[in-house]
Amino acid sequence: MQTISLGDAGPITLDIARAVVEAQDHLSAIDAATGDGDHGINMAKGFRLVLERLGDRPFDLRQGFATIGDTLLGDIGGSMGPLYGSFFTEMSEALNGRDTLDRDGFLAMLRAGEAAIVDLGEAKVGDKTLIDVLTPSRQAFERAAGSGADFAACLAALRGAAADGLEATRDLVARLGRASRLGERSRGVLDAGAASCELILRTLADGLTRHLAGQPG
């Protein structure tokens, strides 16, 4: 059974935060096409605070996710603060009492995060939101696990589904959030929340895959 210690996986939190900070302009540019162009700014602001708060002290993945959750809920408003804040908080709580992460533990964690976002945002697949990345990603992981694939192969399936889900938002018409005011005019561009979700899931999957391959750096 492929497992990763939560302590070893802790620095993946930093990978995620740095990836979001670096993508600031990219995410804002996507958001500007249909929203108010501040998605990258708000996300980067939140994850910069995460980097400051995590500092140089050692932390495991559960603590890292808890810090992301607290920071987004406490300091980043808008829609993304509560959505991603709840996502990371619930994922962190799903890790309570564990020292390691394996395939089934990851799936349980992802399900908990997804449930928090669905409960709060009430978005469904097809509404052109981050759910169009998150739900197919979780489903792909679940299918792969169901067919007996190992953790690394499940993460690869998740990564592929996240990328496909993001690209699929291009042809959707927004039904929720600020872009929904555009109706048909929202078709033809990616969804900004879906883009940040793909980035977060990809960075998480990449980090875990590296650890599974024994190459954490």
Partner 1 sequence: MNRVINDPNQVTEDSLAGVLRAHPDLLTATDHPRVLRCAGPATSRVGVVTGGGSGHEPAFLGYVGPGLVDAVAVGEVFASPTAKSFHAAFREADRGQGVACLYGNYAGDNMNVKMAVKLAAKDGIQVETVVANDDVASAPADEADRRRGVAGEILMWKAGGARAAEGADLDGVIAASRKAIDNTRSIGIGLSACTIPANGKPNFSIETGTMEVGIGHHGEHGIAVLPVAPAREMAGIMLEKILADLPFDGEEVAVLVSGLGATPLMELYLLYGHVDEMLRARNVTPRHRFVGNYFTSLEMMGVSVTLCRLDGELDRLLRAPARSIGLTVAGS
Question: With CB under 8 A as the contact rule, which of the stretches 4-12, 40-48, 107-115, 201-209 interacts with partner 1?
Answer: 40-48
Tell whether residue 37 is a contact of partner 1 (CB under 8 A): yes
74 versus 146: smaller Cβ distance to partner 1: 74
* Cα gap 86→148, rounded to integer Å: 30
22 versus 104: smaller Cβ distance to partner 1: 22
* Cα gap 140→133, rounded to integer Å: 11
10 versus 69: smaller Cβ distance to partner 1: 69
- Binds partner 1 by CB under 8 A, chosen from 10, 11, 136, 177: 177
x/- mask, partner 1, residues 60-99, rule CB under 8 A, reads -------------xxxxxxxxxxx-xx-------------
* Cα gap 106→117, rounded to integer Å: 17
Q: Which residues bind partner 1 (CB under 8 A)?
A: 28, 31-32, 35-38, 41-42, 45, 73-83, 85-86, 120-121, 176-178, 180-182, 185
